[in-house]
Amino acid sequence: MIPDDELPHIVMGACMEVHRQLGPGWEAHAYRAALAQELRLKEMFFKLEVPIPITYKGERIPTAARADFLIEERLLVMVHACPALDPIHKAQLTSFLRQSGLPSGFVINFNVTDLRQGVKRVVIRDGSETTDEPRTP
């Protein structure tokens, strides 16, 4: 099992490799497919299009939303290919983390020349949210 403190760095390394190989300009599903392949090459366990349940007026809706990746059962990753990340992207990830009970995740926008400019990390600690800019390998 990959230690919790190493997992984000390994995932960012995989994202950097995808970006090095493809560069900007593709649609999000191309980056999702390439990231899935890169994670397979790294022999990491992941799930695609993971249902995120919500509770609405006391009723559980099990497939109300979907996260792009759940990696090693501990880290959510949302993949985008847009002109720039908006605050709503981070808000969506934060909502997904709160609903799933997971501690952290990334929003990755591959449509940038420097991937570091397209990454937001959200960590939920003791019920409050923090945003970290990840260190890249």
Q: Report yes or no on 2 lying in a domain.
A: no
Per-residue model confidence (pLDDT) at position 125: 85
- Sequence-ordered alpha helix ranges (H) in 23-137: 28-41, 87-100
Per-residue model confidence (pLDDT) at position 131: 58
Per-residue model confidence (pLDDT) at position 1: 82
Q: Report yes or no on 104 lying in a domain.
A: yes
Please give the tally of structural domains in the chain.
1
Q: Could you tell me the mean pLDDT of each successive run of 10 residues in the chain, 137 residues long?
A: 92 98 98 98 97 93 95 97 95 95 96 96 80 50
Q: Report yes or no on 1 lying in a domain.
A: no
Per-residue model confidence (pLDDT) at position 129: 63
Per-residue model confidence (pLDDT) at position 137: 46
Q: Report yes or no on 137 lying in a domain.
A: no
99: helix, coil or strand? helix
Angstrom CA distances, 8 to 55, 60, 127, 137, stand at: 29, 30, 20, 11
Q: State the residue range of the domain holding 126.
A: 7-132
